[in-house]
Amino acid sequence: MLSSKKTRTAFFCSQCGAEHPRWQGQCRECGEWNSLIEEHIPDRKKSPARSGNVTKQLLSEISQENLSGFTSEIGEFDRVLGGQLLPGMTVLIGGDPGIGKSTLVLQAADGYSRQGLPVLYISGEESLPQIKMRSQRLTVAGERITVINCTAIEEITGVLSENDYAVVMVDSIQTITSAQFDSPPGTVGQVREAANHLVTLAKARGFALILIGHVTKEGMVAGPKVLEHIVDTVVYFEGDSSRLYRVLRAVKNRFGSVAEIGLFEMESDGLGEVVNPSAFFLSGEPHTPRAGAVVAGVCEGHRPLLVEVQALVTPATYGNPQRVAGGIDNKKLALLLAILEKRCGYPMATHDVFVSVAGGLRLTEPGLDLAILAAIASSLTNKPVSADKLVVGEVGLSGEVRAVVNADRLASEAAKLGFKAIVYPESNRSHIGSPDLEMMPVRDLQSALDRIIG
């Protein structure tokens, strides 16, 4: 007879949660090295009895009256969540330690509570006096915010079933444990168990749930990726902790778009919204042309964003030329340099190239290609680009300049900020027109560079 005490173990990846039967150096799902940790597999009953309380309803008859949502009145936060927080909706906020997750969530709690919504803030990391200190710094009154310092899921379940809260926040999910489970806090098993339990409760009782998850690079603490499939919405709070701005980015959203970003600035009294992002990311004096600096336009979600791209190109003196990219992918830079060398004959193989996006913003939008190439060509030839020219366009492998999305929004943003000209893909021609801008449609990289640097 099999003993019921016998527990099986398996190896779980602390980055993505994948289960492996035996230890190996690299996770076969996500490719991370040294991330497998041995954990117990919870006992599952073979054939659970039917509880009989499954709700069955015709789709046409399901009422929507409970679906009016809550807004925090922090515009940047609400927009990334898809406009509002709905009852039963579950959100995971991931980010590096110290980036400002607890600050953001407490400010959001303040927003909800000011509208009369009861909020529960569960902290497993900070003591109540510490949270009080933070709330004073943020001038959060907290009249409807109940704070508990607790890590046991059984206690939390008790509190949640005795009271009705509209929004429940957990800081952080990695500190919550279940006594039924004998792994240490933060392991894949514990984190999943706690999150599953809370998500089920949120759906059943109709409160909105916000979980905070730290991104961890090493150690045995499970990262937020492990939970991405359990929740409705996953957002990451990122930024360079040495800089003041922060970006909130949705990577999964069952109730809204994942293209939206929210921009914040960390100040001495908490996070402030960045309402005019383009002005924020253009570095310094706008009308002095400099070699190697080009203003690019990209659309993050519905948001036009004008950012300065800077390049520094110097003769390579030792061995392999250096390629260092800040804010864009290194491989992307290598690809763009190959296009520049092959299609326009610039001698990139003998030069070191450094590229960075002003403000340290991380961008993946292909519409940035042309501006990066123009900045590199401008630095190499030491010819400045006039600072009131906006450059927009994706560049293909054969050097063709391809259409971008939302070119019209970029043009109107540029006109609003006092730009005089816009260099953009010919194929976007029918979509944009602005009386205040000189329009410079281009078809291929060489003719674009002629017009930009010319």
Binding site for Mg ion (CB under 5 A): 102
C-beta separation of 210 from 91 below 8 A: yes
Biggest distance spanned by C-alpha atoms of the chain = 84
**Whose Cβ is closer to Mg ion: residue 134's or residue 205's?**
134
Decide if residue 132 touches ligand TYD (CB under 6 A): no
99 binding ligand TYD? (CB under 6 A): yes
Q: Which stretch binds ligand TYD (CB under 6 A): 72-80, 133-141, 323-331, 411-419?
A: 133-141
Of 41-49, 90-98, 162-170, 360-368: span binding ligand TYD (CB under 6 A): 90-98
Helix (H, G, I), strand (E, B) or coil at 356: strand
Q: How far apart are alpha carbons 271 and 279 in whole angstroms? A: 18
Only one of the segments 37-45, 62-70, 93-101, 160-168 lies at the binding site for ligand TYD (rule: CB under 6 A); that segment is 93-101
Separation between Cα atoms, residue 213 and residue 172, nearest integer Å: 6
Tell me how far CA of residue 226 lies from CA of 122, 184, 221, 229, in angstroms: 21, 16, 11, 8
C-alpha to C-alpha distance for 27 and 225, rounded to whole angstroms:
14
- Assess 48 for contact with ligand TYD (CB under 6 A): no
- Give, as ranges, the residues between 102 and 121 that touch ligand TYD (CB under 6 A): 102-103
- Could you give the CA distance from residue 303 to residue 148 in angstroms, rounded to a whole number? 38
The distance of Cα 319 from the centroid of its chain, to the nearest Å, equals 37
CB of 95 to Mg ion, least distance (A): 9
Amino acid identity of 184?
A: P
Binding pattern for the stretch 257-276 against ligand TYD, x by CB under 6 A and - elsewhere: ---------x-xxx------
Q: What minimum distance in Å lies between the beta carbon of 393 and Mg ion?
A: 41
The residue among 260, 247, 209 whose CA lies nearest residue 78 is: 260
Report residue 235 as tokens: 């957002």
* Residue 137 binds to ligand TYD (criterion: CB under 6 A): yes
- Work out how close the CB of 241 gets to ligand TYD at its nearest, in angstroms, rounded to a whole number: 7
- Does the footprint of ligand TYD cover residue 242 (CB under 6 A)? no
Contacting residue, 134, 402, 416, 451, with ligand TYD by CB under 6 A: 134
How far is C-alpha 105 from the chain's CA centre? 15
In angstroms, what is the minimal distance from the CB of 232 to ligand TYD?
21
Continuous segment of H or E residues that includes residue 195: helix 188-205
Binding ligand TYD (rule: CB under 6 A), the pick from 17, 82, 100, 301 is 100
Q: Classify 95 as helix, strand or coil.
A: strand
Among 98-106, 173-181, 216-224, 426-434, the segment contacting ligand TYD (CB under 6 A):
98-106
Q: Distance between CA atoms of 55 and 76, rounded to whole angstroms?
A: 36
Least gap, CB of 98 to ligand TYD (angstroms): 5
* Beta strands per DSSP E along 321-388: 323-326, 351-357
Residues that bind ligand TYD (CB under 6 A): 95, 97-103, 134, 137-138, 266, 268-270
